[in-house]
Amino acid sequence: MKKYKIIDTWISTILISIFALIYLVSLDFGYVITGYFIVGSWQLISMIVHAWNHWFTAKGSARIYYHWFVGVCLISIPISFEVLLYMAPFMAAYYTWICYEEVYIKMKRPLSILK
């Protein structure tokens, strides 16, 4: 689990950084949309893997709240597509922070503290 979570965190960070740099160099909004789909797809797969394996998805955890929030966002795409375009970078950064926190903060604690 730990190896997967480290790889997942770094892939999210690298993908976000690459697409941000590509956009800043080219100023082509097409790269932003491409980045949204690639980063979002990666993070959606990661969310499914975490939910399937019950990793950090306990009731009341940040990850489970984020899963519910993404579910609501997916349902509301037809209604609020433009709002989601502006929210997506913040959502991606927050998801990456959740992954980082789980790997580098929560998993560093003694097992007696984790529940």
- 95 closest CA partner among 58, 45, 54: 45
Summarised one tens digit per residue, pLDDT across range 20-74 is 999 999 988 888 889 999 999 999 999 999 889 888 888 888 888 998 999 888 8
pTM over 0.85: no
Say how far apart CA 68 and CA 66 lie, in whole Å.
Answer: 5
Supply 102's token pair: 């789980």
Contact between 38 and 7 under an 8 Å Cβ cutoff? The reply is no
Say how far apart CA 84 and CA 108 lie, in whole Å.
Answer: 34
Contact between 87 and 73 under an 8 Å Cβ cutoff? The reply is yes
